[in-house]
A and B are shown apart, each in its own frame.
Chain A
Amino acid sequence: MSAVKRAQQWATFARTWHIFDCKWQDPYESANVIKKYLMGLHKPIYHPMNDCGDVVVCINSREIALRGDEWRQRAYFHHTGYPGGATWTLAWELHNKDPTMIIKKAVYRAMKGNLQRRHTMERLFIYPGEVIPEEVKQNITNQIRQIRLVPTRLDHIPEEEVQKYPKVMDYPEDYVLK
């Protein structure tokens, strides 16, 4: 095996570490993207019996965005196993308790339920904020593109830029501005 081929072999089977910024991302949409990288579906050498999945590091999981009224509509079910042990926790209650849980459960649900799933989940790291451990940060070599654009708040745009922006609506002549 030549040196080039050996490097190619190493590069093919090495685990890549990806980072994903969850800020203003829908966890259920982004779970389908994260799943591909975790399982290695984006690689041409993919095979279910081939351990070629990558590692994904999710940051800012506290800043995820749910659509419409899903924060109070979506319920997470848990049963302790005892009679009357069923609980339904709303999404915002769960997010209050553990800001990493929603994205974790979303990725877990996006994958097919087989014996490999729990081992694949071990390769997913979720952090509620931007701070990640140094030993994790050193490995990261790739960033997964965000699905949704992060919206800009009006008060974060400079005042002169708001004034200079092209206008579509003009006031009537006798309008008294409030």
Chain B
Amino acid sequence: MTKIVRAGFTFAKNCKNAVISTSVRAISITKQLNLKELREHTEGTTLVVEGVTVPSPRTALLVRAENLSGYVPPESSEKKPCYMCALGLDVKHTDVLILSQFVRSDGCMLPRRITGLCSRQQKKIGKLVTMAQKAGLMINLTPSYCHKDPKKRRDYKKFNTYFDEKTIFWWRIPKPTDKFKR
């Protein structure tokens, strides 16, 4: 354990722009699917640990509205819409293949600085993720203490539940045109 902590410490010292989150867990000696990958090798008696930037596995599959055929660019005076607004997808809570891209491995919604959505889309996707989790559609993306199988949950939670997207409180979600007036 001390070795891991020390490795993380040198890593933080050596790399200028390395992003280290608060826990030690962010540093792993074994290979994992990181955008920053950690590699270590011995040169003589010294142990060299280096952080290497790895290309994202998603870049090749990325869908953007400006790359699609029938794309009309917005007027220059308007603010550029975020990528989800530009795509204009009708996402339902059962579209787990889309929603799982916005969550961490424990099923938590990623913050806005990482997803890069506008506040309206961020709230909407966050609520859809909650719906999908409550319906038990993403049980492989849950914390370790969670009852994975919905059938093994307690009381009313063990029965199937579906959600209606119309029941989302849209009036609480700010529109992209909304601005604070002073």
Interface residues of A (CB under 8 A from B): 24, 26, 63-68, 70-72, 90-92, 95, 148-149, 151-155, 157, 162-178
Q: How far is the CB of B75 from chain A (nearest CB, A)?
A: 24
Of the candidates A70, A90, A92, A169, which one forms a contact with B58 in the assembled complex, judged by CB atoms under 8 Å apart? A169
Give the A-B pair count, Cβ closer than 8 A.
129
Contact B97 A169 (CB under 8 A): no
Q: How far is the CA of A175 from the CA of B101 in the complex (A)?
A: 14
Given A164-B61, A171-B58, A68–B163 Cβ distance below 8 Å?
A: yes
Residues from chain B with a CB closer than 8 A to the CB of A63 are 160
Check if B43 is an interface residue, CB within 8 A of chain A: no
Residues from chain A with a CB closer than 8 A to the CB of B98 are 168
Contact B114 A26 (CB under 8 A): no
Q: How far is the CB of A63 from chain B (nearest CB, A)?
A: 6
Contact B140 A154 (CB under 8 A): yes
Q: Which secondary structure characterizes the binding site on chain A?
A: loop
Contact B159 A95 (CB under 8 A): yes
Given contacts A164-B61, A168-B98, 4 further A-B contacts (CB under 8 A): A148-B162, A171-B114, A175-B19, A176-B19
Check if B139 is an interface residue, CB within 8 A of chain A: yes
Contact B101 A168 (CB under 8 A): yes
Most buried by B among A163, A170, A172: A170
Interface residues of B (CB under 8 A from A): 17-21, 25-26, 32-36, 53, 56-59, 61-63, 83-84, 87, 89, 94, 96-98, 100-102, 104-106, 113-116, 135-141, 155-156, 159-164, 167
A-B contact pairs, 10 of them (CB 8 A): A26-B162, A65-B160, A67-B161, A68-B167, A155-B140, A172-B35, A172-B114, A173-B53, A177-B105, A178-B106
Q: How far is the CB of B155 from chain A (nearest CB, A)?
A: 6
Contact B164 A67 (CB under 8 A): yes
Contact A151 B135 (CB under 8 A): yes
Contact B21 A92 (CB under 8 A): no
Contact B161 A177 (CB under 8 A): no
Q: How far is the CA of A164 from the CA of B138 in the complex (A)?
A: 18
Contact B61 A165 (CB under 8 A): yes
Of the candidates A24, A64, A90, A166, which one forms a contact with B61 in the assembled complex, judged by CB atoms under 8 Å apart? A166
Q: How far is the CB of B39 from chain A (nearest CB, A)?
A: 15
Q: How far is the CA of A67 from the CA of B166 in the complex (A)?
A: 12
Contact A168 B159 (CB under 8 A): no
Contact B58 A170 (CB under 8 A): yes
Determine the residue in chain A with the shortest Cβ distance to B95: A151
Contact B97 A162 (CB under 8 A): yes
Contact B162 A162 (CB under 8 A): no
Residues from chain B with a CB closer than 8 A to the CB of A68 are 161, 163-164, 167
Determine the residue in chain A with the shortest Cβ distance to B100: A154
Most buried by B among A152, A168, A178: A168
Q: How far is the CA of A95 from the CA of B25 in the complex (A)?
A: 44
Residues from chain A with a CB closer than 8 A to the CB of B20 are 176
